[in-house]
């Protein structure tokens, strides 16, 4: 693996945590299969290449935050549909809290001109 | 020109260019290496493969299109470089390793991957866990029990679904449906395909018996296909012709086909227009709809045309039920027409003949003579239509013993109807001509009904009552009307004509019948003494009028069992 330069490394670190949070948010809205999730992440410009999603999903599943069921699809082989487990729900609740704290922290430490807009 | 390869990507089959396949394989191998440290590597790879399959599916317009290198490159770009994919999640903490959801119950499928004919036996073998060869042998053996094996196999072939998807294949084998098992299965299949491509035999522990059955199965399938195709075509043609014939027949029966009269069925003499039309429509539906569906099915099988859409099939079934209900109601309604019967007996006054003998003759019906339309000439049901009346040729004449000392004629008319009253009124419309001149009694061969009448069991019969000691001469030609007349010699109706029958307390007896059939030689041989002929009961004796033996046989006596029954004297 080519070593990442310091900037890329920091960017990747930042994105990684946020990405996980966002994925949980998407799945919290209802069961979803990877292509659904990818669609939303692409709209949000959080994901550039699709391949990054799968390792994340697998890890979250292995952490028992997500569960999936196989469902037949009309157009092809069965698909995995992901849902949040109860554990995942608690986890996400905690993340909401963390996110608010982080946002405040960023706001507090950033000069007025660079502050991220509230959306 | 590029060589193509068939691969299973994420459970779907794709045709892919060989170079594109190499590229894709390298990509997936690289991913595998990159993810080697990850906990759920196989699962991740499986997910990625599924997604790739989805992308290819979106790109390809139809199943036969081939995946090109450009498409593989594009998909790889969307998916990201292996290090990008792996880079997002390197730090792994050991977590739960099992899939959180899996189903591991067994289901009965047909196994199309290991089949001789339809994969029924191998499917069952997965389910109950014995070698399919034994099942195949059992089915083959059962074939010889009135073909039971064949029928059972065909039924199972129809009702058992084929295991199509990887998940179904796993269910068939009773393995849990997890990402890992799916991946393993797919890998196995890809391996098989690869092996086949490189000309090797697939790694499959098949016995020689299995291979033998494979070959046998292939021959059988080819043979059956040929026979089915050949006979299918013939049956389709026959069925089509049958349907067309049925259609025209029904039209003709309804009288909707101008110029075509179908006398055989005589429907208009049995059914009123309402029943006729209802009957024709319902029979057309009840027979026609299944024939039509069968025909469609055959055509669909033979020419691979698309299946009928569901609404059409449902409509056809509804129409059929409607037809069946209509047919039942019509039949019921028609049978009601025959429910009640009425009979009328009349004593017809006749003149007593001057002699002791009454001549029974047939009165010819006018319709026959003056060019009426013969509608049916079947011996059981003869009808002629003439002017405003029809003639039904159905009259029966019986001869019985009279109680008194006079000849008597009884006429019995009967008919049927949905009520007794209707039946009675039908009787009153029956016309029966009779003619008598002195000793000649002429009884009709048929009876008249007003034109347009329906046949409702109308019948006319006569009983001629003959007093003891008096005779009836049943003239030649009367066999069309006399019916089962009892007599002491049990002579059949057709042999009773042309003879004179005398009523005795024992019944009708033919006095002159015993006579005359032996030739001169016989008489010569049987005349024992003084012209007395002794014969046994079965021999009839004829004394020819020009016999050279006439002088010798002036006086012929016939004795039966010692008792003299006939004494013919040739002397004037």
Residue B411 has pLDDT above 90, yes or no: yes
Question: What distance in Å separates residue B63's CA from the closest CA in chain A?
Answer: 12
Check residue A116 and give its pLDDT: 54
* DSSP 3-state percent helix, strand, coil across chain A (nearest 5): 60, 10, 30
Check residue B254 and give its pLDDT: 67
Comparing C-alpha atoms, which of B568, B515, B570 is closest to residue B548?
Answer: B570
Look up the ipTM and state it. Answer: 0.76
For A68, name the nearest residue in chain B, comparing CA atoms only.
B101
Interface residue B54 vs chain A (CB under 8 A): yes
CA B168, distance to chain mean position in Å, is 41
Helix (H) or strand (E) holding A68: strand A66-71
Residue B373 has pLDDT above 70, yes or no: no
Interface residue B177 vs chain A (CB under 8 A): yes
Question: What distance in Å separates residue B270's CA from the closest CA in chain A?
Answer: 58
Check residue B40 and give its pLDDT: 78
Residues B408 and B402 sit within 8 Å (Cβ to Cβ): yes
Residue B412 has pLDDT above 90, yes or no: yes
Tell me the per-residue pLDDT of B501-540, one tens digit each, with 9 for 90 and over.
Answer: 889 888 888 876 655 444 545 555 555 444 445 454 444 4
Rounded Cα distance, B515 and B512, in Å? 6
Q: What is the 3-state secondary structure (H, E, C) of A75-109?
A: CCCCEEEEEECHHHHHHHHHHHHHHHHHHHHHHHH
Query: What single DSSP character describes residue B162?
Result: B
Query: Which residues have CB under 8 Å from A13's CB, separation 6+?
Result: none
Check residue B88 and give its pLDDT: 53
Rounded Cα distance, B112 and B104, in Å? 21
Residue B256 has pLDDT above 50, yes or no: yes
Residues B434 and B444 sit within 8 Å (Cβ to Cβ): yes
Rounded Cα distance, B544 and B521, in Å? 11
- Determine what percent of chain B is predicted with pLDDT higher than 70: 72
- The mean pLDDT value for B300-326 works out to 84
Question: What distance in Å separates residue A108's CA from the closest CA in chain B?
Answer: 29
Q: Which residues of A touch B53 (CB under 8 A)?
A: 76-77
Q: Which residues of A touch B89 (CB under 8 A)?
A: 16, 52, 55-56, 59
Which neighbouring-strand residues pair with A31? none
Least confident piece of the model among B88-97, B99-108, B123-132, B304-313: B88-97
Q: Which residues of B touch A50 (CB under 8 A)?
A: 51, 78-80
More confident residue, A98 or B91: A98
The mean pLDDT value of chain B amounts to 76
Strand-by-strand arrangement of the B357-363 sheet: B435-437, B440-444, B357-363, B471-474, B499-504, B507-510
Helix (H) or strand (E) holding B193: helix B179-197
- The mean pLDDT value for B63-87 works out to 81
Check residue B434 and give its pLDDT: 86
Residue B96 has pLDDT above 70, yes or no: no
The token pair at B9 is 């990507």
Residue B552 has pLDDT above 60, yes or no: no
The token pair at B406 is 């006079």
- The mean pLDDT value for B264-283 works out to 75
- Position A32 confidence tier, pLDDT thresholds 50, 70, 90: confident
Geometric angle at alpha carbon B36, from B30 and B40, rounded to 5°: 115
- The mean pLDDT value for B558-564 works out to 52
Check residue B308 and give its pLDDT: 80
- The mean pLDDT value for A18-42 works out to 87
Rounded Cα distance, B60 and A75, in Å? 12
Q: What is the three-class DSSP state of B5?
A: strand
- Position B545 confidence tier, pLDDT thresholds 50, 70, 90: very low
Tell me the backbone φ, ψ of residue B561, rounded to 5 degrees: 55, 40
Check residue A3 and give its pLDDT: 55
Rounded Cα distance, B376 and B331, in Å? 24
Q: What is the three-class DSSP state of B490?
A: coil
Rounded Cα distance, A82 and B357, in Å? 111
- The mean pLDDT value for A53-81 works out to 83
Residue B91 has pLDDT above 50, yes or no: no
Strand-by-strand arrangement of the B563-569 sheet: B527-529, B532-534, B555-560, B563-569
Tell me the per-residue pLDDT of B475-488, one tens digit each, with 9 for 90 and over.
Answer: 888 888 888 888 88
Residues B106 and B207 sit within 8 Å (Cβ to Cβ): no
Check residue B465 and give its pLDDT: 92
Residues B445 and B362 sit within 8 Å (Cβ to Cβ): yes
DSSP string, B63-124: TT-EE-HHHHHHHHHHH--HHHHHHTT--------S-S---------B-TTS-SSSSHHHHH
- The mean pLDDT value for B47-51 works out to 85
Question: What distance in Å separates residue A112's CA from the closest CA in chain B?
Answer: 32
Q: Which residues of A touch B167 (CB under 8 A)?
A: 70, 72, 77-78
Q: Do B88 and A55 make contact, defined as CB atoms within 8 angstroms?
A: yes
The mean pLDDT value of chain A amounts to 82
The answer to pTM > 0.90 is no
Q: Which residues of B touch A80 (CB under 8 A)?
A: 47, 50, 179
Query: Which residues have CB under 8 Å from A51's CB, separation 6+?
Result: B31, B48, B79, B80, B81, B82, B84, B85
Q: Do A64 and B166 make contact, defined as CB atoms within 8 angstroms?
A: no
- Position B99 confidence tier, pLDDT thresholds 50, 70, 90: very low
- CB burial of residue B38 (10 Å; 0-12, 13-18, 19+): buried
Comparing C-alpha atoms, which of B5, B9, B40, B33 is closest to residue B19?
Answer: B5
For B176, name the nearest residue in chain A, comparing CA atoms only.
A70
- Determine what percent of chain B is predicted with pLDDT higher than 90: 5
Q: Do A64 and B96 make contact, defined as CB atoms within 8 angstroms?
A: yes
- Position B567 confidence tier, pLDDT thresholds 50, 70, 90: low
Residue B285 has pLDDT above 70, yes or no: yes
- Position B98 confidence tier, pLDDT thresholds 50, 70, 90: very low
Residue B142 has pLDDT above 90, yes or no: no
Tell me the backbone φ, ψ of residue B427, rounded to 5 degrees: -60, -40
Counting every residue written for chain B, the total comes to 572
Rounded Cα distance, B38 and B483, in Å? 105
Q: Which residues of A touch B73 (CB under 8 A)?
A: none
More confident residue, B153 or B561: B153
- The mean pLDDT value for B19-31 works out to 86
Tell me the per-residue pLDDT of B156-199, one tens digit each, with 9 for 90 and over.
Answer: 887 788 887 777 787 788 776 665 666 666 666 666 666 666 65
- CB burial of residue B217 (10 Å; 0-12, 13-18, 19+): middle
For A65, name the nearest residue in chain B, comparing CA atoms only.
B100
- Position B36 confidence tier, pLDDT thresholds 50, 70, 90: confident
Selecting from A48, A55, A70 the residue whose C-beta is nearest the C-beta of B38 gives A55
Tell me the per-residue pLDDT of A69-108, one tens digit each, with 9 for 90 and over.
Answer: 888 777 667 788 899 999 999 999 999 999 999 899 988 8
- The mean pLDDT value for B421-442 works out to 87
Strand-by-strand arrangement of the B447-450 sheet: B373-378, B381-386, B389-392, B447-450
Selecting from A1, A19, A78 the residue whose C-beta is nearest the C-beta of B87 gives A1
The token pair at B469 is 């000691």
Interface residue B476 vs chain A (CB under 8 A): no
Q: Which residues of A touch B186 (CB under 8 A)?
A: none
Query: What single DSSP character describes residue B480?
Result: G
Residue A5 has pLDDT above 80, yes or no: no
Query: Which residues have CB under 8 Å from B479's CB, separation 6+?
Result: B493, B494, B496, B497
Least confident piece of the model among B186-190, B334-338, B469-473: B186-190
């Amino acid at each position: 693996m080519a070593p990442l330069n310091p900037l890329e490394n920091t960017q990747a670190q930042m994105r990684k945590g946020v990405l996980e949070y966002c994925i949980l948010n998407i799945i919290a809205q209802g069961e979803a299969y990877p292509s659904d999730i990818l669609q939303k992440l692409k709209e949000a410009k959080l994901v550039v290449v699709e391949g990054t999603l799968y390792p994340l999903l697998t890890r979250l599943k292995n952490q028992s935050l997500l569960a999936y069921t196989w469902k037949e699809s009309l157009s092809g082989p069965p698909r995995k549909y992901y849902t949040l487990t109860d554990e995942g729900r608690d986890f996400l609740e905690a993340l909401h809290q963390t996110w608010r704290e982080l946002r405040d922290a960023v706001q507090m430490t950033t000069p007025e001109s660079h502050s991220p807009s509230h959306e | 020109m590029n060589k193509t390869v068939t691969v299973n990507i994420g459970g779907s089959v794709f045709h892919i260019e060989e170079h594109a396949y190499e590229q894709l394989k390298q990509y997936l191998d690289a991913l595998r290496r990159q993810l080697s440290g990850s906990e759920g590597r196989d699962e991740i790879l499986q997910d990625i493969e599924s997604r790739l399959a989805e992308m290819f599916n979106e790109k390809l317009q139809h199943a036969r299109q081939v995946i090109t290198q450009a498409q593989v490159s594009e998909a790889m770009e969307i998916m990201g470089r292996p290090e990008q994919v792996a880079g997002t999640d390197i730090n792994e903490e050991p977590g739960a390793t099992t899939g959180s959801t899996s189903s591991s119950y067994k289901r009965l499928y047909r196994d199309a991957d290991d089949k001789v004919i339809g994969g029924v036996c191998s499917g069952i073998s997965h389910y109950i866990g014995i070698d399919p060869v034994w099942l195949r042998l059992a089915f083959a053996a059962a074939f010889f029990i009135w073909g039971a094996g064949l029928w059972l196999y065909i039924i199972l072939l129809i009702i058992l679904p084929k295991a199509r998807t990887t998940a179904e294949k796993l269910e068939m084998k009773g393995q849990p449906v997890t990402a890992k098992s799916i991946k393993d299965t797919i890998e196995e299949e890809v391996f098989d395909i690869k092996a086949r491509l490189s000309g090797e035999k697939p790694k499959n522990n098949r016995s020689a018996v299995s291979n033998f059955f494979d070959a046998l199965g292939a021959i059988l399938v080819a043979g059956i296909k040929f026979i089915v195709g050949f006979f299918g075509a013939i049956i389709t043609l026959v069925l089509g012709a049958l349907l067309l014939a049925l259609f025209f027949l029904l039209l003709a029966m309804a009288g909707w086909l101008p110029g075509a009269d179908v006398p055989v069925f005589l429907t208009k003499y049995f059914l009123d227009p309402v029943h006729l039309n209802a009957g024709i429509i319902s029979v057309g539906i009840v027979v026609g709809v299944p024939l039509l569906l069968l025909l469609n099915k055959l055509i669909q099988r033979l020419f691979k045309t698309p299946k009928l859409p569901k609404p059409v099939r449902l409509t056809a079934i509804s129409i059929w039920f409607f037809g069946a209900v209509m047919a039942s109601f019509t039949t019921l309604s028609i049978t009601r027409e025959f429910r009640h019967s009425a009979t009328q007996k009349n004593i017809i006054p006749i003149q007593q003949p001057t002699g002791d003998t009454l001549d029974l003759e047939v009165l010819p019906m006018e319709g026959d003579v003056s060019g009426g339309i013969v509608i049916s000439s079947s011996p059981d049901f003869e009808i002629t239509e003439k002017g405003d009346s029809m003639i039904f040729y159905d009259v029966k004449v019986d001869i019985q013993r009279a109680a008194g000392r006079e000849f008597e004629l009884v006429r019995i008319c009967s008919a049927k109807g949905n009520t007794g009253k209707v039946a009675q009124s039908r009787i009153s419309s029956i016309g029966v001509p009779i003619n008598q001149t002195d000793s000649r009694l002429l009884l009709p061969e048929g009876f008249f009904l007003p034109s347009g009448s329906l046949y409702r069991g109308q019948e006319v019969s006569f009983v001629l009552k003959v007093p003891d000691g008096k005779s009836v001469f049943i003239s030649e030609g009367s066999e069309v009307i006399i019916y089962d007349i009892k007599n002491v010699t049990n002579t059949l109706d057709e042999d009773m004509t042309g003879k004179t029958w005398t009523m005795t307390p024992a019944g009708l007896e033919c006095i002159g019948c015993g006579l005359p059939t032996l030739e001169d030689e016989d008489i010569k041989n049987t005349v024992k003494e003084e012209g007395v002929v002794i014969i046994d009961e079965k021999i009839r004796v004829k004394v020819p009028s020009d016999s050279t033996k006439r002088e010798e046989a002036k006086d012929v006596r016939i004795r039966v069992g010692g008792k003299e029954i006939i004494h013919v004297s040739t002397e004037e």
